[in-house]
Structure 1
């Protein structure tokens, strides 16, 4: 009986590896709101240049600067960038109430220095505001035919756009 339990745990773990438990919308809306003081700072979601880091293969990797545009009317985001894997686009949702973001990073097939890593795949990213770190922190999730994984992901606005440019669209 114990062997069946262990086998079941291994199968469940293998099934979920590289998959988030929630869709971006579910993630953003699943918890209680932050305190009122934090909600009064919509500047947590500033369109502009964003950077950060992620943990993979036993070490942190710097994220090159990417561009993110927040649509305040729809609570959605879009963006683009390039990293070690290749060119990518970003799309997602966010909540000023919960101070969370749910992002899907989609790589453009055939771009980047290591084309074996770029399968034109999606990376699911689930982040929430970390007041102590002054950034958004959470996890990334990848599941492809070649790789399954998940680990730490951090993102922060490094250079906000002036308000006049905030009406630009990246789509």
Structure 2
């Protein structure tokens, strides 16, 4: 007796059918494994690069009523582990000729530098936050990068969006907010 059923498979047609069933089963298992690996790999990664996100034609705005890209002291907060962290202060400088932004700050993970791009045509910012290993919380600060993608919320007068982290020890993403506290010219 065969383990496949009540009768033994003796002819070529039966063997071919069993072989096809085996290949389909192996293909299904391979597909499930491939999907699992893809989901693990893509978790903590944004769907678009910073350049693509910032310049997306789908986000073009009709007109800009004010300059929300002001150099100064900004407050940020992020959502992780079912709670908001922050606000934390960040010093940001916007270069209106190159449409780049850079700065630094400190949060509950550690000290970091920040650099990125922005567009007045889309009212979006794309940032890379690079943590300085050895600062802050040694269990959280891996000296890693966090990608941040934000768009302007007119009614709240702040940038909102998501942060993304993908390291060998952690991967995830969630909400992020950035709000201007005071410009450098206001501080003079």
Q: Matched residues in 2 for 1:125 and 1:11: separation?
A: 24
1:63 match: secondary structure: strand
* 1:28-67 → structure 2 map (5 Å cutoff): 28-32=54-58, 33-36=60-63, 39-41=64-66, 43-67=67-91
- In the alignment, structure 1 residue 14 sits paired with structure 2 residue 37: no
Q: Matched residues in 1 for 2:74 and 2:187: separation?
A: 18
In 1, are the aligned partners of 2:86 and 2:107 still within 8 Å (CA)? Answer: no
Report the number of matched residues: 161
**1:151 to partner: Cα distance:** 0.4
Unmatched tracts of structure 1, length 5 or more: 166-171
Q: Matched residues in 1 for 2:84 and 2:90: separation?
A: 17
**1:40 to partner: Cα distance:** 3.8
Question: 1:155: which partner in 2?
Answer: 178
**1:97 to partner: Cα distance:** 0.6
Give the TM-score normalised by the residue count of structure 1.
Answer: 0.86
Residue number among 160, 165, 169 corresponding to 1:142 in the alignment: 165
- In the alignment, structure 1 residue 118 sits paired with structure 2 residue 153: no
Q: Which has the higher contact order (CA 8 A, sep 6+)?
A: 1
Instruction: Provide the alpha-carbon RMSD of the alignment.
Output: 1.9
Q: Matched residues in 2 for 1:73 and 1:164: separation?
A: 23
The structure richer in strand per residue is 1
Give the TM-score normalised by the residue count of structure 2.
Answer: 0.79
Q: Matched residues in 1 for 2:83 and 2:153: separation?
A: 21
Unmatched tracts of structure 2, length 5 or more: 1-23
